[in-house]
Chains A and B, each alone.
Chain A
Amino acid sequence: MDPILKVEHLHKNFEDFKALEDVNLSVQKGEVVVIVGPSGCGKSTFLRCLNGLEEIDDGKVILDDKVINPGNANITKERQKIGMVFQSYDLFPHKTILQNVILAPLKVQKRDKEDASKEALELLERVGLSNKKDQYPRQLSGGQKQRVAIVRALIMHPEILLFDEVTAALDPEMVREVLEVVLSLAKEGRTMVIVTHEMAFAKAVADRIIFMDGGRIIEEGKPEEFFEKPKTERAMRFLESFEY
């Protein structure tokens, strides 16, 4: 089967600093790929390259046989197929929860308001937040905001979802409610690329683990293999850093 997302020889520099060096990755439809690695290893930058938020210096990112990065005139249109959820939620503070969710369907996809609102409420219901629809983001907890951010990405019917450390800014007791939503998405067969520091979650959700360090993919494999018997010294040391 052809992969839905292909990354070929991706290079990304920040001036003299080589953030990503020759990164290659293929993601199959329905696959959940989790990227782990020490801070500053380039995993978030890599995710941002996948939907063209960062311009790349060499290589290609291909979604459905269409080149996403290096960017082209159609990048705005292609981006709708890639949902992204960020560490800092980034809901629109001047809009209510419902407005946050339907703004892109209305403005970008020119959908009918009634139809978009109906779907928005169903999705909010699914993450247990339909009763918050008329509140503003500031009235919600971090975990609730992040669940709304996930809904806001889902309503665009993306072919692939990117999660960039979505629990890193949350209080510990709120991490679970967000991860459970992500886990349920994985179970229904969504294609996802997830960057996380939650190792137990990575193990539970991943079909494949990618370990990055120094801007390169060092190791990849099935979660059980990676967490039980990492092949490389660097991965071993990284995993040890999570033990007390």
Chain B
Amino acid sequence: MDAGAISQYFPLYVEAFFLTIKIGWMGIALSLLIGVVGAFVLHFKVPVLSVIINVYVELFRNTPLLVQLFFIYFGLPKVGLVISADKCGVIGLGLLGGSYMVEAIRSGLSAVPVSQTESALSLGFTKRQIFTNVILPQAVISGIPAVIANVIFLLKETSVFSAISLMDLMFTAKDLIGLYYDTTECLLLLVLFYIVMLLPVSALGSFIEKKIRFGSYGD
């Protein structure tokens, strides 16, 4: 183990770390937006749009992110759309994540029993009031574990960004190994930075789950 190498590479990893986080979270924000809109479309069975969302979900859930990135990064310029690697990463992650988020949020919505709606109807609530006061809060509670699992999965998926020359953690590690052959040091740093990135998310996830579970768990 070469401590000198580690201290020399460290700043490069820090830079890559922040780039990964930036693109990762922008992609996740996009995926959540797609997820909420898509899940609402499916929940309210909006005609035409429901079909489009279903096709989208199946298409993106059943193809690897790497292939999707290749299509966006190398394919779109062929039809005249040139996108920077950064934007490509955000869009790719957002589209992949969106397809998972749609399912996670939709399953949260459909986990609320129909009898909840019926008992609320019998009390005189309007459909809109039932959605905001009865269904949505319960859907958030039951959907959050799946959403958090998706967030962690998406942050890890950022490792394929290196394939479109985004200087993320994975790219930096591969690059340094190629240049200096300090394989052990470079891979250790890589693992370390991924853990530093993901551990707080996992911890925050379990905290939120415990916090919100109370009201509904095991009704």
Contact = CB atoms under 8 A, between A and B. Distances in A.
Interface of A: 51, 53, 76-77, 79-80, 82-84, 86, 88, 90-95, 103-104, 107-109, 136-138, 149, 152-153, 156
B115 A90 contact: yes
Interface in B111-142: 113, 115-116, 118-126, 129, 133-134, 137-138, 141
B125 A138 contact: no
Given A94-B137, A136-B214, A138-B216, A156 B116 contact: no
- Sort A-B residue pairs by CB-CB distance and give the 9 closest, nearest first: A80-B124, A90-B119, A84-B122, A94-B215, A104-B123, A93-B219, A93-B216, A108-B124, A90-B115
A92 B124 CA distance: 15
B217 interface: yes
Contacts of B122: 51, 53, 79, 82-84, 86, 153
Nearest to B124: A80
Contacts of A137: 219
Interface residues of B, number: 24
B126 A94 contact: no
Interface string B199-219: 000000000000000111111
Nearest to B137: A94
Contacts of B217: 138
Contacts of B134: 92
Interface in B20-51: none
Interface string B138-164: 100100000000000000000000000
Contacts of A153: 122-123
Contact of A94 (B123, B125, B138): B138
Contacts of B218: 138
A83 B119 CA distance: 10
